[in-house]
């Protein structure tokens, strides 16, 4: 069985953000209506840096987002990079800021995501947005076949 997989195509935008990137938490409610965590107030620097990439008309086509986050390595931290922030939370923080700064119209347009955390001499972030280019890929073992029987 074959399937079409979104792959990075033509580069649309490349952004270099020179600041430490933290996820901006949105308050989520537990069943008893108490907040799990509060938003962090440390994203103002990233938002200011993204102003340089503001668009009058945001990108409104499906994209592949590639993000490379570089952090200064603390003396106590072993390799490979393990930090307090999960890549899924970092991805959401980046996508939310791209929408807030009118770079992309909606974060639902991100069809493929590639995020990497690494160590560097300074804190910075590289974001690349690519048009979606589809590649035919064989689905191993017939996974996701509509005609497969559950048994």
pLDDT of residue 22: 63
Q: Looking at residue 14, what is its pLDDT? A: 92
Q: Enumerate residue ranges in the chain where pLDDT < 50.
A: 1, 34-41, 144-151
**Could you give the domains of the chain?**
2-139 (3.30.1330.70)
Handedness of CA 18, 64, 54, 22 (dihedral sign): negative
Residue-level pLDDT at 63: 94
* Residue in the structure block whose two tokens are 């972030």: 125
pLDDT of residue 96: 86
Cβ atoms of 45 and 93 closer than 8 Å: no
Least Cα distance to 142 among 133, 134, 131, 150 occurs for 150
């Amino acid at each position: 069985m074959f399937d079409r997989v979104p792959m990075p195509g033509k580069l649309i935008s490349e952004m270099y953000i020179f600041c430490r990137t933290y996820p901006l938490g949105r308050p989520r409610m537990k069943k008893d209506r108490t907040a799990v965590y509060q938003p962090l107030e440390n994203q103002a620097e990233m938002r200011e840096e993204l102003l340089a990439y503001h668009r009058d008309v945001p990108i409104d086509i499906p994209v592949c987002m590639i993000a490379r986050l570089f952090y200064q390595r603390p003396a106590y931290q072993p390799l490979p990079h393990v930090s307090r922030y999960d890549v899924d939370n970092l991805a959401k923080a980046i996508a939310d800021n791209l929408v807030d700064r009118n770079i992309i119209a909606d974060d639902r347009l991100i069809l493929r995501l590639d995020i990497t955390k690494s160590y560097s001499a300074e804190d910075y972030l590289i974001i690349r947005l690519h048009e979606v280019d589809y590649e035919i890929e064989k689905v191993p073992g017939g996974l996701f076949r509509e005609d497969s029987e559950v048994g």
